[in-house]
Copies of this chain bind each other. A is one copy, B any other.
């Protein structure tokens, strides 16, 4: 495909805007770019390749003539418009959770399971942000020996709650410094100088929806239906890179040296693991980039055959917009 007509559903949010930036940065062969959003944003001017484009209200008719629609909207909006997108003959590459676990929908991290794009029937889902970052970090380990178990604790940036989350942290930091009242609308409690150990709604087993994603989406993406995963998701006062502390346990025992050597070869991974030089991944240094940064690699001491590591990646980019555009690039081949 060249001269691709691309729609962005939810174009005015943090992820939608980043999708437009990334289409431009990666020279995606866009012949028409159509930003779509709610009635509230209709008519707003955005920039694409230096030209003005105007946001249209998403309606059932908005998708006619498009080849690919990138979804940056919430799950209910994605569900609402998916039939219209398919009826228009476009492929829907959706970042919401709406279709991720449906058996007929591929769930793709291009560095892991690009081949799954082949069997799509109109919808391809983009995984959860912390799931993408964690799996990119550990995929090289799984190449050395199959991952059986995983224990992960996340440190998730406010950008995961969208542009409003970023603004809320900024307001609270300003207010704390100035001794003024703090506003908490996006997050259930103050997030500046605090941690909130709850992302997404609670499910019946006491885990949050966000925590269950690493298990359910991880199994599907990695083609490891028996992988056992526990995850704890925590919001931290960081702007836009997620970090994850993870222990993975594999079929055979791996040395730190072979894991480091493998990770240095992996697509999408930057190894930052030099304790003597005080080098390890940090969210501040990894923001605005498309790679997943991995370090602190060492033998896990709690169980046999374990490797512990720490990884960081930009939630808005690799965790969402970049991965979605990468999937769209696979469709061009």
Contact = CB atoms under 8 A, between A and B. Distances in A.
A45 B194 CA distance: 33
Residue among A280, A282, A283, A299 with the highest chain B CB neighbour number at 10 A? A282
Given A237-B237, A278-B188, A150 B193 contact: no
B245 A234 contact: yes
A116 B247 CA distance: 34
A151 interface: yes
Interface in A207-257: 207, 215, 228-230, 232, 234, 236-239, 243, 245, 247, 249, 256
Contact of A284 (B189, B206, B256): B189
A41 B207 CA distance: 50
Given A188-B278, A310-B232, A150 B237 contact: no
A297 interface: yes
Contacts of A283: 193-195
A281 B196 CA distance: 8
A110 interface: no
A247 B194 CA distance: 22
B189 A282 contact: yes
Contact of A193 (B205, B207, B239, B308): B239
A206 B149 contact: no
A118 interface: no
A232 B247 CA distance: 10
A177 B173 contact: yes
Contacts of A284: 189-190, 193-194
Contacts of A282: 189, 194-197
A302 interface: yes
Contacts of A261: none
A176 B193 CA distance: 14
B205 A299 contact: yes
Given A151-B302, A303-B303, A296 B206 contact: yes
Pairs A-B, 3 closest by C-beta atoms = A206-B298, A153-B153, A153-B245
17 contacts: A155-B155, A174-B177, A189-B284, A190-B284, A193-B238, A194-B283, A197-B281, A197-B310, A198-B278, A206-B256, A206-B275, A228-B302, A230-B302, A232-B296, A236-B236, A237-B238, A245-B245
